[in-house]
Chains A and B, each alone.
Chain A
Amino acid sequence: MSMYPYIVAGWMLAVGLVGIARSRNLIHMVVCLSVVQSSTYVLLLAIGFRKHATAPITQGIAPWRRTVDPVVQALTLTDVVVEATVVALMLALAVDAHKRFGTLDPQRLRELRG
């Protein structure tokens, strides 16, 4: 249990990378990349967690309660929204690649040089 969240984050990273490497479709590759991004969120939040601590909201809780680390949560929450737009950019690139080369297969993109 002491290292379990880090193992889960590492597993998600590995699974996402294998998905990217074995992918035959650019859109499938982008979704596997979002899995890799999610693994970084899990790792960040797992590092910030503290046993028997509460969420970092001070309204309505007793002042002597410990809270989890708010700094990693600040990093992660902006990250989630920004990575969604980066995923949109990569999807637009995939659509553009399909327009130019006629295929979404990364193995075949190499053969069709412009």
Chain B
Amino acid sequence: MMALQAVALTVVAIAATAVVLVDDPVRQSMVASIMGLFLTSAFFALQAPDVALSMLAVSTVVIPALILLAAARVREIAGPGPRSGDDHDRDEGG
């Protein structure tokens, strides 16, 4: 069974390197979500189901959502335009 833990931890290390190497925050949130998924399976391999449950819910939904919301908010402050128009139901036809 040690091979399972070794593989799971190796995949986590690769995903962590990928998260750091991506530059755009929007893309980085997706890679962080995938790293959270790999961390969940690594925690299962390490016989920790409680930790895996909390990591699953937090890292796959909550953290990417917060990152995307913050990135969208920054984009709006930078300047309203056609880029940020799809976040609100703005009536553009006027």
- A–B direct touch, CB within 8 Å, in complex? yes
Closest residue to B57 on the A side, CB-wise?
A81
Contact (Cβ within 8 A) B63 A77: no
Is A107 part of the contact surface with B, judged by Cβ < 8 Å? Answer: no
Q: A35-B35, A77-B54 are in contact. Are A27 and B70 (CB under 8 A)?
A: yes
CB of A95 within 8 A of CB of B20, answer no
B-side interface mostly: helix
B: number of interface residues (CB 8 Å): 44
Taken together as a complex, chains A and B put the C-alpha atoms of A5 and B45 apart, in Å, by: 12
Least CB separation from B23: chain A residue: A28
- Asked if A12 and B16 sit within 8 Å, CB to CB, the answer is yes
Within 8 A of B (CB), among A50-84: 51-57, 67-68, 73, 76-77, 80-81, 84
Chain A interface residue count: which class?
35 or more
- Docked pose: A11 CA to B19 CA in angstroms: 13
- A residues whose Cβ falls under 8 Å from a Cβ of B: 1, 4-5, 8, 11-12, 15-16, 18-19, 24-25, 27-28, 30-32, 34-35, 38-39, 41-42, 45-46, 48-49, 51-57, 67-68, 73, 76-77, 80-81, 84, 87-88, 91-92, 94-95, 98-99, 104
